[in-house]
């Protein structure tokens, strides 16, 4: 199956039967932001959504928590990076899917706590590339699709499924902005995302097309699944 057909199947999956809006027994309908501790660690295995080939292991560790600033160290196959969040996991500095590291003002509320089934939001932020100083206007459309139960290498969890569509604002000559589609499966039991999918596409307007989609350029589609979690020092 080629990439276009596979991506279409991925997008159509979001149009499947609606998820339940009622939380499992014993789980609150409204989910508050988790407590974040220095030393909290999450390990994810990743694979390519088109081919299901492995894409290695990603390690995330909270290096420090100061006021409303959470510094996270990211490691993937020997390559290290730093991401910055708020205590509510809003994005201050981190990459967009298939793009470079960017700084956001205000921070992107990717998981706008408190979360509940049916929640819908939209926001616009200014994103700055720290390497070039170039700025973009990024728009985020999000919704909480509902509750379901998922199984990942770390276990089986009741989760809220969150969908985001992000418009990166990075128009450039014959290239439209990157259109990003993401899903998070957030487990209140762990206070963490246990599964994440992200893909993107843009249009190359320099191509003359006989067919409507021939100038659509697909980016990577990557799936992350939680393999291991370790809580840090509660007193930090």
User: Quick check: helix, strand or coil at residue 9?
Assistant: helix
**Long-range CB contacts for residues 13-17, cutoff 8 Å, separation at least 24:** 14/145, 14/163, 14/183
Q: Are 59 and 227 in contact (CB under 8 A)?
A: no
Distance separating alpha carbons of residues 127 and 135, to the nearest angstrom: 5
The number of helix segments (H) and strand segments (E) in the chain equals 1, 13
CATH of domain 3-230: 2.40.360
- Spell out the per-residue pLDDT of the chain, length 236, in tens: 344 444 444 445 445 679 999 999 989 999 999 999 999 999 999 999 999 999 999 999 999 999 999 999 999 999 999 999 999 999 999 999 999 999 999 999 999 999 999 999 999 999 999 999 999 999 999 999 999 999 999 999 999 999 999 999 999 888 899 999 999 999 999 999 999 999 999 998 877 766 666 788 999 999 999 999 999 875 43
Query: What pTM, to 2 d.p., does this model score?
Result: 0.90
């Amino acid at each position: 199956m080629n990439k276009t057909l596979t991506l279409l199947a991925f997008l159509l999956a979001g149009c499947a039967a609606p998820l339940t809006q009622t939380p499992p027994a014993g789980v609150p309908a409204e989910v508050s932001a988790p407590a974040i501790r220095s030393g909290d660690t999450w390990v994810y295995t990743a694979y390519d959504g088109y081919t299901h080939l492995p894409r290695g292991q990603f390690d995330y560790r909270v290096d420090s928590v100061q006021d409303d600033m959470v510094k996270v160290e990211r490691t993937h196959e020997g390559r290290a990076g730093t991401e910055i969040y708020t205590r509510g996991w809003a994005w201050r500095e981190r990459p967009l899917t298939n793009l470079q590291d960017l700084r956001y003002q205000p921070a992107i509320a990717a998981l706008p706590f408190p979360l509940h089934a049916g929640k819908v939001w939209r926001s616009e932020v200014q994103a700055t590339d720290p390497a070039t100083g170039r700025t973009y206007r990024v728009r985020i459309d999000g919704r909480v699709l509902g509750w379901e139960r998922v199984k990942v290498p770390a276990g089986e969890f009741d989760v809220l499924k969150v969908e985001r569509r992000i418009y990166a604002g990075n128009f450039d000559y014959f290239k439209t902005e990157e259109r990003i589609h993401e899903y998070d499966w957030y487990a209140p039991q762990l206070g963490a995302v246990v599964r994440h999918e992200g893909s993107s596409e843009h249009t190359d307007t320099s191509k003359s097309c006989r067919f409507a989609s021939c100038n659509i350029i697909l980016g990577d589609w990557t799936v992350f699944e939680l393999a291991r979690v370790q809580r840090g020092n509660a007193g930090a």
